Amino acid sequence: MGRKRKLENVPKTEKVRKISEFMCVSQIRQSEDNVSEDLITDLECRDVVTESQSQDVSERAKASAKRKFREDWKLNRPWLSYNPQSRSMYCSVCSSANVTNSFTTGCDIMKKENVTNHEKAKGKNGHLAALQIIEASKNYKKSAEAQLSKSEAAVTAAMKNIFFMTSNNLPNMLISNLNELCIDQGCSSLQSLKVDRHTTYEHSTSVQEMQQSMVDVINDKFKKDLSDSKFSIMVDESTDISVDQNMLIYVRFLEQSLGCFEPKSVLLDVCKLRDGATAEQLKNTILSSFDIHDLKINNLVGISTDGAAVMTERKVGWCRN
């Protein structure tokens, strides 16, 4: 009766609180024990897995080290090569096409499976894509060479017409009509001279550029012939339609042909006399023309003029000076 009364005097809420605290403490202790056991077990498992992985890696490394490149892998594969120094396989097709894959940086896993997989690889960096790039490049080069050949034939035909016009003192404006005449007579190469409706290379500027290119070729040959040859000059002063004074300089030399020497006269230069036709001005103009054409004054053996005082007079003539 005493105990019963004592318990009855304790409030029920206090009993419930003490019982719940006791149960919480016991659960916390039990969970801590379980966590520690799980952690130990997990660490032990990780150690086992790490050891097994390291063993697998070492075994693979040993196996790959034992593998060697076989020359029969090159059969029907001219693109495949092996570098013994780096111990890697390379693909010449992929390297030429500038694609990036394991066979351009170097494949060091010596397995035929890697070679066959690379041979069948698709995608923008695959072997098949590299083959397409190489083939497209070859086709482009062929078409470019064919087009260049047509353009070269057209320019050659046009320059022949321009040379004919220049040799016969015909005006440059006739080039278009002359080209049309040649096309009508079967010279189809001139058709390639016209790129489009506006680009025909028959404008006066184009004609002058072609004429200048001919002049450059003739001058190069002329300089070669006169490099160490003796020569003489013929000089005369003239006034053109615009009332400008000019000096015409011809050069005469011996040209060797078929074992014989024949005299040849060539127009060397037409010089503007902007500061007047004085003896000093004439002399400086001639010397400047010699420098431009790489002529040595020591090889000059004769001078021909019209006998004017400014040319040959004993005191003021430029020949005397």
CA-wise closest residue to 89 among 75, 59, 62, 68 = 68
- pLDDT tens for 248-261 read 888 888 887 777 88
What percent of the chain shows pLDDT beyond 70? 74
Query: Tell me, what's the pLDDT at 136?
Result: 82
CB 295 within 8 A of CB 288: no
| Of 50-59, 290-299, 304-313, minimum mean pLDDT range | 50-59
Domains of the chain by residue range:
71-125, 147-212, 227-312
pLDDT at 5 over 70: no
pLDDT value at residue 316 = 63
Q: Higher confidence at residue 206 or residue 57?
A: 206
What single DSSP character describes residue 264?
E
Identify the band that residue 112 occupies on the pLDDT scale cut at 50, 70 and 90: confident
Give strand pairing partners of 267.
Answer: 250
Residue 79: pLDDT above 50?
A: yes
Lowest mean pLDDT among 53-62, 82-91, 162-171: 53-62
**Alpha-carbon distance 132 to 49, whole Å?**
46
Compute the distance between CA of residue 57 and CA of residue 105 in angstroms, rounded to an integer: 23
| DSSP symbols for 64-89 | HHH----GGGGTT-TTEEEETTTTEE
Helices and strands per DSSP (H, E), number in the chain: 10, 6
Taking residues 141-155, report their average pLDDT: 73
| pLDDT band with cut points at 50, 70 and 90 for residue 4 | very low
Can you list the pairs that 77-84 forms with residues at least 24 positions away whose Cβ atoms lie under 8 Å?
Answer: 77/115, 77/119, 79/127, 80/115
Sorting pLDDT into bands at 50, 70 and 90, what band is 90? very high
Is pLDDT of 27 > 80?
A: no
Q: What is the mean pLDDT of the chain?
A: 76
Question: Span 169-176, mean pLDDT?
Answer: 87
- E-assigned strand segments in 218-316: 231-239, 245-257, 260-272, 300-304
**Residue 35 binned pLDDT confidence (cut-offs 50, 70, 90):** very low
Residue 100 has which token pair?
């990036």
The CA distance from 247 to 238, in Å, is 6
Asked whether the predicted pLDDT for residue 220 surpasses 50, the reply is yes
Strands 80-83 and 245-257: unpaired
When pLDDT is cut at 50, 70 and 90, the band that residue 25 belongs to is: very low
Residues contacting 254, CB < 8 A, separation 6+ = 229, 230, 261, 262, 263, 264
Tell me the whole-structure pTM to 2 decimals.
0.44
Is it the case that residue 163 has pLDDT exceeding 50? Answer: yes
Contacting residues for 81 by C-beta, under 8 A, at least 6 apart? 74, 89, 90, 91, 92
E-strand stretches of the chain: 80-83, 88-91, 231-239, 245-257, 260-272, 300-304
Asked whether the predicted pLDDT for residue 247 surpasses 80, the reply is yes
